[in-house]
Amino acid sequence: MPGIARMKIKRRPKYLNTKTKLDGYTFDSLKEQRRYLELLMMQKAGEIRDLEVHPKFRLEVEGQKVCTYTADFSYTDLDGNVIVEDVKSEPTKTPSYRIKKKLMRAVHGIEIREV
Average pLDDT, rounded, for the chain? 92
Strand partners, 58: 68
Instruction: State phi, psi for 26 to the nearest 5 degrees.
Output: -105, 120
Beta strands in 1-115 (DSSP E): 20-22, 25-27, 48-53, 56-61, 64-70, 73-77, 82-86, 112-114
Q: What is the pLDDT of residue 64?
A: 96
Q: What is the pLDDT of residue 17?
A: 78
CA distance 78 to 66: 32
All structural domains of the chain: 20-114 (3.40.1350.10)
Q: Is the pLDDT of residue 80 over 60?
A: yes
Q: Is the pLDDT of residue 1 over 60?
A: no
Q: Is the pLDDT of residue 9 over 90?
A: no
Structure confidence by residue, pLDDT tens digits, 25-57:
999 999 999 999 999 999 999 999 999 999 999
Q: How far is CA 90 from CA 8, 85, 93, 108, 115, in A?
A: 30, 15, 5, 24, 11
Q: What is the pLDDT of residue 109?
A: 96
Q: Distance from CA of residue 76 to its chain's centroid?
A: 16
